[in-house]
């Protein structure tokens, strides 16, 4: 496993190193599987390192370079989260369009109701805007020009919009949307953490703001 550890606590960020730890090493153990609100397809567990001993050959890169290495990869990580956000939005709009076209209310499909059509049109438009922004960021990334501030903006805006669109789509599903057997319910629950991991929305806004002054 890849482990970020403080190999020199007195050096702050410069004292963080990346270590490759064999999970068969004596002292390493995995605790209980934590019960998350969503993302149930991914196990999350407590990890314990009781007197685990590793040598210099476990270092990935120079000692003390771990924090710098992780920071260097953050724009790509945040771009990946933006990709997941936009993909979830596109799927949700498609699921909801199919549902309202089939679901009957007062003798006609829900899609015949102007309020339903307009709310779904808003979701569709927000998704198109998110996709356009994402594609621009992907182009910058492929050209080696994606800066941290823009990646942070993409991560926070796309993930915030993801939750907004999925919440609206779940509403249009009605009671069905509250049932876990429907993908919109699972996608809605999974969307909540998108605004937290990889850097919270609040941190992302601060990084964007710092680039402006």
**Catalytic residue (choose from 35, 46, 73, 77):** 77
Is residue 19 within 8 Å of 59, Cβ to Cβ?
yes
For 120-183, the DSSP string reads: HHHHHHHHHHHHHHHHHHHHHHHTT---HHHHHHHHHHHHHHHHHHHHHHHHHHGGGGGSTTSH
* Burial state string for 107-122 with b = 16 or more CB within 10 A and e = fewer than 16: eeebbeeeebeebbee
Residue 168 bears catalytic tag: no
Quote the Cα angle for 118-123-126, to 5°: 120
Two structure tokens written together for 182: 């429907």
* Cα gap 9→84, rounded to integer Å: 35
CB atoms within 10 A of CB 208: 17
What residues have CB less than 8 Å from 53, skipping those under 6 apart?
A: 25, 26, 27
In the structure encoding, which two tokens stand for residue 16, read together?
């963080």
**Which residues are annotated as catalytic?**
77
């Amino acid at each position: 496993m890849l482990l970020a550890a403080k190999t020199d606590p007195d050096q702050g960020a410069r004292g963080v190193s990346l270590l490759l730890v064999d999970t068969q090493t004596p002292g390493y153990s995995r605790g209980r599987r934590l019960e998350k609100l969503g993302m149930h397809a991914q196990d999350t567990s407590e990890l314990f390192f009781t007197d685990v001993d590793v040598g210099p050959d476990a270092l990935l890169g120079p000692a003390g370079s771990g924090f710098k290495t992780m920071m260097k990869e953050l724009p790509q990580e945040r771009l990946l989260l933006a990709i997941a956000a936009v993909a979830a939005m596109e799927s949700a709009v498609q699921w909801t369009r199919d549902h309202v076209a089939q679901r009957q209310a007062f003798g006609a499909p829900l899609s015949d109701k102007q309020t339903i059509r307009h709310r779904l049109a808003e979701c569709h438009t927000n998704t198109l805007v998110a996709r356009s922004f994402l594609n621009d960021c992907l182009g910058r990334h492929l050209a080696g020009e994606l800066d941290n501030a823009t990646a942070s903006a993409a991560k926070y805006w796309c993930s915030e919009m993801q939750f907004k669109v999925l919440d609206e789509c779940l509403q249009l599903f009605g009671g069905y949307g509250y049932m876990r057997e429907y993908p919109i319910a699972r996608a809605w629950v999974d969307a909540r953490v998108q605004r937290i991991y990889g850097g919270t929305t609040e941190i992302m806004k601060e990084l964007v703001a710092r680039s402006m002054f």
